[in-house]
Structure 1
Amino acid sequence: MPSETETSKRLETYELTIREMTLEDIDKLHELSITVLWPHRPEDWRMLLQVGKGFVGCDPIGRIVASGMWFPIGDHFATIGMVITSPRLQALGGGRWIMRHVMAQCENRDIVLSSTKAGYRLYQSLSFQPVATVFQYQGIATSIDQSRLCVNEGIRQLEANDTESILQLDESAFGTDRSNIIKTILEKSLGSVLVRDNKVIGFALCRKFGRGHVIGPVVAQNSADAISLIAPHVNQHTGNFLRIDTTIQDKAFLDFLNESGMHEFDTVTSMTSKPLTPVNTSFHSFALVSQALA
């Protein structure tokens, strides 16, 4: 029987070949993501290629008709994302073929991915199990009266010498060191931090993405702190498109997102290749970096 990681595959009338993704593919990858109504700009694809690797499936005349990426985090962890095939190719096994190639690169790492509704059955068949729902909130940002927030003192703009504190907080909340990703995000973001007793105890980053800007990651000890960290970014982008992806279901936090003009738009399911060890920390992740990067 042919291997599902073979470099070419016939799917009914499709003869597909697979190869590694390169920077020269970005324009075609952008076209591919548009076909499934994903908002990624060429710049967003370029950033993902800075921190990850991937494969593309090509038809006989070289058009990219499928993609999949993986993002190494240390030696024992990875995320998978940007798995795109047309609905027809998915029905013919194109998504499974791409996923087999990507998973082979991850070797023995624990894997996390965000599954759309269309991809759920595929990932479930590959032994991924659901662990959380990720809620995508987005909309036109509405100004927030920061004087009404529970936490007003200690919030300031991110400074260059905050980097190590940010990396430590992210590792504490996420459960593993992903400084390779966070450093890249920091280069493209403006940030806010919360300082108490001369120590950074929370942060929120905001960068250009898709139709406007996205807030994430956000790490804090509680929803009141997270709200106060996010509010400056809402006010900075008032009248413009803003997005945040979160697993948090705290009522005060979600009420704040709605008041900020960001409303629930869609959900995806966070899935893992094996049960993850619960993170034992007082710090929590209130927003993902992105659905591809977790």
Structure 2
Amino acid sequence: MSQQDRIDLEHYSVTARPVATEDVARLHELAVGVGWPHRPEDLRQIISLAKGYVACDEIGRVGGSALWFPLGEDTACIGMVITPPRMQSRGAGRWLMQRVLRDIGKREIIVNATPQAVRLYEQLGFGKYGLGQQMQGHTKAPDTPPAVPAGLTLRPLSGADLPALQVLDREATGHDRTAVLLCMLEPADAVLLLDKGGAPVGYAFSRPFGRGELLGPVVARNDDEAIALASHFLLRHVGSYMRLDTLVRPGKFTDFVENCGLAISTTITQMRLNPKAAASGTTRSYAMVGQAFG
């Protein structure tokens, strides 16, 4: 074991080891301890896509985590950075993050930070890229149900649509999220928005997560198309608990989501290290796959 694998805190030492599927129960305890809503099945899915570390004390108890998710060959997202206050105050969060940053290397690195974590990422060299919000609540029918814009149609996503889905998503985000999207499709309900010629111009997923359903990603060309995609799921799940994470500025889309019962619960600050050129396609991301993935 190298010196970098261990940190000595005030009265005990902590060792970092690679995260494994066997850590689901331990990570669930951590998440619950800091008030995060993840279910064991959510964490199992996350770990299947993750690299990174858990911090263990001398008798093997997991007391912290920092994971990262490759997005193709040139980008990575960081998520599930959990360090309880007693470890955080002793530098364990920074220590775990330094290990993760060393492994990621020169890729562009994205993190969607909670308000409590922004300072740590700034100290590690990340710059602020965008401000968004986590929206959640029990859904209700909007005052005026929206119609699908003229000339467009909605239909369920099929396996044959995956190449088109990849193109739309890459245009909207600038990243290769193929592995993440394929993983999310299994438990998800997904729809495509088609133009008059039948070509896909947007898509959206909804899947079980946390206290209910997570609506995202939502990719579209404009607010009206994003609202048509989101409303398909918001109306289907009236009375259910839903969550949506977005970096879209307050406006027509977020007003509609609020009108459907999802209130802003906290802010999200997107931060980047080694940033590359922004996406330049005709579509944009209106809702994240999840805060850990962007």
- For Structure 1 versus Structure 2, the TM-score category normalised by the shorter chain is over 0.9
| Paired letter, 2:248 | I
| Paired letter, 2:212 | G
Say yes or no: does 1:83 pair with 2:93. Answer: no
The one-character-per-residue Cα deviations of 1:214-235 (angstroms, maximum 9, x if unpaired) are: 0111110001000001111111
How far did 1:160 drift?
Answer: 2.6
5+ long unaligned stretches in structure 2: none
**In 2, Cα distance between the equivalents of 1:63 and 1:221?**
47
Is the deviation greater in 62-71 or in 186-195?
Answer: 186-195
How far did 1:53 drift?
Answer: 1.3
Report the 3-state secondary structure (helix = DSSP H, G, I; strand = E; otherwise coil) of the residue aligned with 2:252. Answer: helix
Find the counterpart in structure 2 of residue 17 from structure 1. 15
Find the counterpart in structure 1 of residue 27 from structure 2. 29
Calculate percent identity across the aligned residue pairs: 37
Report the 3-state secondary structure (helix = DSSP H, G, I; strand = E; otherwise coil) of the residue aligned with 1:118. Answer: helix
Report the 3-state secondary structure (helix = DSSP H, G, I; strand = E; otherwise coil) of the residue aligned with 1:281. Answer: coil
Say yes or no: does 1:96 pair with 2:125. Answer: no
Check conservation: 1:146, 1:231, Cα contact below 8 A: no
**In 2, Cα distance between the equivalents of 1:8 and 1:253?**
47
Find the counterpart in structure 2 of residue 46 from structure 1. 44
**In 1, Cα distance between the equivalents of 2:142 and 2:194?**
21
Find the counterpart in structure 2 of residue 223 from structure 1. 223
Instruction: Give TM-score, length-normalised by structure 1.
Output: 0.95
| Paired letter, 1:281 | G
Find the counterpart in structure 2 of residue 109 from structure 1. 107
Find the counterpart in structure 2 of residue 7 from structure 1. 5
Instruction: Give TM-score, length-normalised by structure 2.
Output: 0.95
Check conservation: 2:146, 2:231, Cα contact below 8 A: no
| Paired letter, 2:272 | T
How far did 1:159 drift?
Answer: 2.4
Find the counterpart in structure 2 of residue 175 from structure 1. 174
The one-character-per-residue Cα deviations of 1:257-290 (angstroms, maximum 9, x if unpaired) are: 0111111111121100133312111100000111
Find the counterpart in structure 2 of residue 243 from structure 1. 243
RMSD of aligned alpha carbons: 1.6
**In 1, Cα distance between the equivalents of 2:252 and 2:166?**
27
**In 1, Cα distance between the equivalents of 2:155 and 2:145?**
15
The one-character-per-residue Cα deviations of 1:20-50 (angstroms, maximum 9, x if unpaired) are: 1111110011001111001111111111111
Report the 3-state secondary structure (helix = DSSP H, G, I; strand = E; otherwise coil) of the residue aligned with 2:257. Answer: helix
How far did 1:212 drift?
Answer: 0.5
Check conservation: 2:168, 2:283, Cα contact below 8 A: yes
Q: How does 1:243-282 map to 2 (within 5 A)?
A: 243-282=243-282
**In 1, Cα distance between the equivalents of 2:288 and 2:260?**
18
| Paired letter, 2:89 | A
Report the 3-state secondary structure (helix = DSSP H, G, I; strand = E; otherwise coil) of the residue aligned with 2:238. Answer: coil
Q: How many correspondences in the alignment?
A: 291
Is the deviation greater in 202-211 or in 45-54?
Answer: 45-54
Find the counterpart in structure 1 of residue 60 from structure 2. 62
Report the 3-state secondary structure (helix = DSSP H, G, I; strand = E; otherwise coil) of the residue aligned with 1:245. Answer: strand
**In 1, Cα distance between the equivalents of 2:58 and 2:234?**
47
Report the 3-state secondary structure (helix = DSSP H, G, I; strand = E; otherwise coil) of the residue aligned with 1:6. Answer: helix
Report the 3-state secondary structure (helix = DSSP H, G, I; strand = E; otherwise coil) of the residue aligned with 2:282. Answer: coil
How far did 1:105 drift?
Answer: 1.2
The one-character-per-residue Cα deviations of 1:154-204 (angstroms, maximum 9, x if unpaired) are: 122222322221111001101122211111112221012111111111101
Pick one of 119, 126, 129 that aligns with 1:128.
126
Report the 3-state secondary structure (helix = DSSP H, G, I; strand = E; otherwise coil) of the residue aligned with 2:248. Answer: coil
How far did 1:208 drift?
Answer: 0.7
